[in-house]
Amino acid sequence: MKKAAHPLATPFRHALEALDRVTAEAVFANALEQLSPLQAVEQVVVPALEAVGAAWHDGNVALSQVYMSGRFCEEIVDRVLPPSDPDRKHQPRSAIVVLSDYHLLGKRIVYSVMRASGFELFDYGRMDVDELVERVLADRIRVLLISVLILPSALKVKEACRRLKTADPALKILVGGAPFLFDPQLWQEVGADATGASAADAVAIVERWMGEMQ
């Protein structure tokens, strides 16, 4: 489930668009007083970035504003993301990857939250389809999380799913990122097993699958 935006998302977004780091920092610090770091990221940072993306789409902000917003949020997110939980769960081999595109923030959040929830998973970084298929099969991955941010990459997920499922029908694939938020049917079209709108979703879904696998 996608969390609703916190009221601070709006001033945070304005500060991002104005490249006003000082205000953005202050707003985020304010958010941290009311919310947990993860909530602050998912309810303030993520919706603010979504609004920046929409403003780009409407021609109201420049790409450099989008870029700087992304850069700045990366720093913030890095600083507050939860540390990993030492109490590791007994679990199937998992991995997370960003397929072809250049947005790493979403994956970073999901990865960090998964680890904070006790999951151990390989971070494959950014990969193309060929490389991904090879690695997943070589590492004998059972659960694969794929994050994408632009539609053309989402369409590549289809090829990745087809090839991976042919080689290993038992592999579970969870997808997420903007295109799957924009089009709620897309995950089925690309042949994934599920989609999630947030990092919390990722944890819940993988937990459910673990139950089913045992």
Partner 1 sequence: MTDRLAILCCRNFVAEVGAGVTAEGWQDVDVIDFPARCGRPPLGWDEIRALLPADCDQVLVLGRACLDNLGETPPGFPSLRRVSVRQCFHLIAGETLVDEAISAGSYLVTPTWLADWRGQLQALGFAPGQACEMFQEFARELLLLDTGTVIDAGRLLAELQEEIKLPVRRLAIGLDGVRARLARLVLEWRLDLAGRRCMESHRRHARELADHVAAMDLLVQLARTQDEDAAIAQIEHLFRMLFAPGEYLYLRVENEGVMPVHPASGSTALRAQLERLDREHAWTADGNGFLLRIAHGDSVLGLVAVDRLAFAEYRERYLNMALAINGVCGLAIENARNQHRLIEAEKLSALAIVVAGVAHEINTPLGIGLTAASSLQDKTRDLVARFAARSMTQRDLDGYLKHAAETTQLMRSNLDRIAHLTEAFRQVAINERPLPTTTFSVYDSLATVRQSFAERLAAAHVQVDIECDPALLIDGVANDWSSIVANLIGNSLQHGFKGRSHGRIHIQVSSDAKRWQLRYRDDGVGMSADTLARIFDPFFTTDVQNGMGLGMYLVYNLVTHRMHGTIHCDSAPDTGVNFQIDIPR
Which residues contact partner 1 by CB under 8 A? 17-19, 59-65, 67-68, 71, 101-102, 150-152
With CB cut-offs between 5 and 8 Å by kind, which of ligand B12, partner 1, none does residue 60 bind? partner 1
* Complex with partner 1: residue 36 or 182, whichever CB lies closer: 182
Torsion of the alpha carbons at 159, 160, 163 and 167, rounded to the nearest 10: -170
Closest approach, Cβ 33 to ligand B12, in A, equals: 21
With CB cut-offs between 5 and 8 Å by kind, which of partner 1, ligand B12, none does residue 59 bind? partner 1
Query: What is the rounded CA–CA span in Å between residue 175 and residue 190?
Result: 9
With CB cut-offs between 5 and 8 Å by kind, which of ligand B12, partner 1, none does residue 188 bind? none
Write down the residue that tokens 């420049």 correspond to: 62
Which of 147, 190, 209, 210 is close enough to bind ligand B12 by CB under 6 A?
A: 147
Query: What is the rounded CA–CA span in Å between residue 37 and residue 207?
Result: 22
The DSSP code sequence of 116-147 is HTT---EEEEEE-HHHHHHHHHHTT-SEEEEE
* Complex with partner 1: residue 55 or 137, whichever CB lies closer: 55
Residue 103 binds ligand B12 (CB under 6 A): yes
Site string for ligand B12, 50-89 (x = CB under 6 A): x-xxx-xx-----x--xx-xxx--x---------------
Q: Which residues inside 31-50 make contact with ligand B12, applying CB under 6 A?
A: 42, 46, 49-50
Residue 185 is given by DSSP the state T
Q: How many CB atoms lie within 10 A of CB 86?
A: 6
Query: What is the rounded CA–CA span in Å between residue 181 and residue 173?
Result: 17
Query: What does the block give as tokens for 104?
Result: 């790493």
Closest approach, Cβ 185 to ligand B12, in A, equals: 15
Closest approach, Cβ 117 to ligand B12, in A, equals: 13
Query: What is the rounded CA–CA span in Å between residue 32 and residue 109?
Result: 16
Closest approach, Cβ 80 to ligand B12, in A, equals: 13
Query: What is the rounded CA–CA span in Å between residue 88 and residue 165?
Result: 28
Cα atoms found within 13 Å of the Cα of residue 131, Cβ hemisphere only: 9
Q: 180 and 186 in contact (C-beta within 8 Å)?
A: yes
Residues that bind ligand B12 (CB under 6 A): 42, 46, 49-50, 52-54, 56-57, 63, 66-67, 69-71, 74, 101-107, 109-110, 145, 147, 149-151, 174-179, 181, 196, 198-199, 201-202
